[in-house]
Structure 1
Amino acid sequence: MRRLRRWLTVLALSLAAPAATAQTVSGGMVQSPILVIEFERVFEQSAFGRRVAAALESEGAEIAAENRRIEAELTEEERRLTEERASLSSEAFRALADAFDEKVQRLRREQDSKARALGARSEEEQRRFLAAAQPVLQQLMREAGAAVLVERRSVLLAADDVDITDIAISRVDAAIGDGSGLSPDDSR
């Protein structure tokens, strides 16, 4: 019990020290050597992230609709092949069945490739966003006198006033909007 009290005292003192050095100045920007950000939320709630999410969702829906259409066509083709089986020689049926299996495998590979490409595009858009947002984040760090910007998920505890997520969303939106005007070179 005594060890737990000591640990809690050390924890409380360590939390109080950063909170004591962080102070908010005019304009609502905190002055702190360490800032915290929820980068995933900055991406998702920014105009850029919302545009990307909508585009990816639309493309994902198209792939899903195409998958359903292909599945229905293959189901019908398999049904016809099964009906024809009685009227075909076993060699002729085997050739048709093998061709059908090859077609199914090819279509599966093509659709899987489209899904992987969509995932890769999502990751690329996040990289583009980070590159485009980096000057804004660096400016926020300069304004706060910060030496470090830490991802919120990596922090056990932090004072709320050192979290710049909301101001980062606002500033990134003001600087790059939805990102549709950025050329690929602008964000690298």
Structure 2
Amino acid sequence: MGSLANGLCAAALGLAALAFAAPATAQTGPARNDVLVLNQERLLNQTAYGARIQQELEEASIALAAENRQIEELLTAEELELTDLRQTLPADEFRVLADEFDTRVSAIRAAQDAKTRDLQAQAEAARQRFFEETVPILLELVEGRGASVLMDSRTVLLSAGGVDITEAAIVVIDERLGRGGEDPLIAIPGLSSTPQED
């Protein structure tokens, strides 16, 4: 959830661009709301594009965790073998092997930590791209309803019916952006295992 919170926080900057002073226009029919609200978390979770980001993040996280467990098991087994050799090898020879093992373990852990950071960065970038691509669509919805301000619904204490455009935004975003293209949004090169789809 920390990454999700960061993504939504960054997206708020893009959403803030929609808080604009729209030129006055003559309106016919029922009065329109000057202020509309939108639930960004629902937008990310319930659009096909946003759900795909969450799915790819989850799949990559599962694959990375599985790889980490496999590596840990192999290193543990190797460490036990090395411990057994300690009883039979001269001290200087054992020290060489132990130092080599420690160096390799440190390098492996650094590489896995880098994959974790890469995964987090890709997830953040994918969310940011999602919100950047949805801003023009949201702007059209706001202008089409004669409003001048769009706010995150989580910052609004109370609102009347009809001012929340989340559902309408989800429908239009799905129509316009679909799943966000064909290329993977999140992928960690070098993973030794990947989850299989059911």
- The AA in structure 2 aligned to 1:100 is F
**CA displacement 1:16-46 (0-9 Å, x = unmatched):** xxxxxxxxx79xxx93111111112101111
1:72 aligned residue: 73
- The AA in structure 2 aligned to 1:134 is V
Q: Identify the structure with bigger relative contact order (alpha carbons < 8 Å, sequence gap 6+).
A: 2
**CA displacement 1:43-101 (0-9 Å, x = unmatched):** 11110011222222221111111111101100110010000001122222222222211
Identical residues among aligned pairs (%): 41
1:89 aligned residue: 90
Query: Structure 2: how far apart are the matches of 1:55 and 1:168?
Result: 22
1:141 aligned residue: 142
Secondary structure in 2 aligned to 1:149? strand
Residues 52 and 125, structure 1, Cα contact 8 Å, conserved in 2: yes
**CA displacement 1:142-186 (0-9 Å, x = unmatched):** 01211111112222332342111111111111111111159x9xx
Residues 38 and 152, structure 1, Cα contact 8 Å, conserved in 2: yes
Secondary structure in 2 aligned to 1:128? helix
Structure 1: runs of 5+ lacking an equivalent: 1-24
Query: Structure 2: how far apart are the matches of 1:124 and 1:68?
Result: 27
- The AA in structure 2 aligned to 1:70 is I
Secondary structure in 2 aligned to 1:36? strand
Query: Structure 2: how far apart are the matches of 1:181 and 1:95?
Result: 50
Secondary structure in 2 aligned to 1:172? helix
- TM-score scaled to structure 1, two decimals? 0.76
Runs of 4 or more, structure 1, over 4 Å off, are none
Residues 31 and 143, structure 1, Cα contact 8 Å, conserved in 2: no
Query: Structure 2: how far apart are the matches of 1:93 and 1:181?
Result: 52
**Structure with more helix by fraction:** 1
Residues 31 and 144, structure 1, Cα contact 8 Å, conserved in 2: yes
Secondary structure in 2 aligned to 1:162? coil
2:118 aligned residue: 117
Structure number with bigger Rg? 1
- The AA in structure 2 aligned to 1:127 is Q
Which piece of structure 1 moves more, 52-61 or 35-44?
52-61
- The AA in structure 1 aligned to 2:72 is E
- The AA in structure 2 aligned to 1:112 is D
2:163 aligned residue: 162
Query: Structure 1: how far apart are the matches of 2:141 and 2:163?
Result: 11
Asked if 1:107 is matched to 2:78, the reply is: no
Aligned residues: 156
Superposed CA RMSD: 2.0
- TM-score scaled to structure 2, two decimals? 0.73
Query: Structure 1: how far apart are the matches of 2:36 and 2:89?
Result: 73
Secondary structure in 1 aligned to 2:179? coil
